[in-house]
Homo-oligomer: A and B are copies of this chain.
Amino acid sequence: MQTTQKRICIDMDEVMADTVAEHLFRYNRDHGGQITKADMQGKWLWQVVPVDHHNKLEEYLRSEDFFDSLPVMPDAQRVLQRLQQHYEIFIASAAMEVPTSFAAKFRWMQRHFSFIPPSHIVFCGDKTILNADFLIDDNARQFRGFRGEGILFDAPHNALVTSHRRVSSWLEVEKLFLDDMNLA
């Protein structure tokens, strides 16, 4: 490992894993719903689902197999493997909001991103604790107080956020970090 390598932290939910797709799938299946990501522009799932179904949304997140079922975001695996050759990569997931999810999230990462060593996986709540140059996250709130630069990964709920550099896919991550930047 070169000490001159820049360090990138990557969020898991809605960046590596399509958490919203699984959440929508379960909700639509159980409630005969037709909600799509297009209906969620600028909103969290909680804002498009009736209030009396909110406990159901919570339940999905807490169910044993929710995180095991998450689809991998397109190109995430290939691009992360490329990034690893030029940057020090850490995964940083805000698991403290659903503490029952630690083990399942860890299993998911081991299964789909086995090339990331366990020592480079972090579960935290407040991401200002991360000592990194970049944080790729769908939640702009996590950039406040972060010591590096926050890169916003497109998600329905952040469609209206304009405060940060933004990427819409892993192909754009690849372009930004491997083509556009001056590699050390």
A residues near B, CB below 8 A? Answer: 7, 9, 90, 92, 95-97, 99-100, 102-103, 106, 117-126, 128-132, 147
Nearest CB of chain B from residue A47's CB, rounded to whole Å: 23
Query: Pick the contact of A147 from B90, B119, B126, B131 — CB < 8 Å?
Result: B131
Which residues of chain B are near A95, meaning CB under 8 Å? 123
B96 A102 Cβ-Cβ under 8 A: no
Q: Give complex CA distance A42, B110 in Å.
A: 34
Are the C-beta atoms of A118 and B131 separated by less than 8 Å? no
Which B residues are CB-close (under 8 A) to A96?
A: 106, 118-119, 121
Minimum CB–CB distance from A11 to chain B (whole Å) comes to 14
Within 8 Å CB of A100, what residues of B? Answer: 103
A119 touches which of B106, B119, B121, B125 (Cβ 8 Å): B125
Q: How far is the CA of A92 from the CA of B130 in the complex (A)?
A: 11
- Can you list 11 A-B contacts with CB-CB less than 8 angstroms, sorted by A residue number? A92-B129, A96-B119, A99-B102, A99-B118, A118-B125, A121-B125, A122-B123, A122-B124, A129-B130, A131-B131, A131-B132
Nearest CB to that of A103 among chain B residues? B102
B118 and A122 within 8 A (CB): no
Separation of A180 and B124 alpha carbons in the complex (Å):
31
Given A100-B103, A103-B102: A90 touches B129 (CB 8 Å cut-off): yes
Write out the residue numbers on chain B whose beta carbons fall within 8 Å of the beta carbon of A90: 126, 129
Once the chains are docked, how many angstroms separate the CA of A119 from the CA of B119?
20
Contact between A129 and B125 (Cβ–Cβ < 8 Å)? no
CB-based contact A124/B126 at 8 Å: no
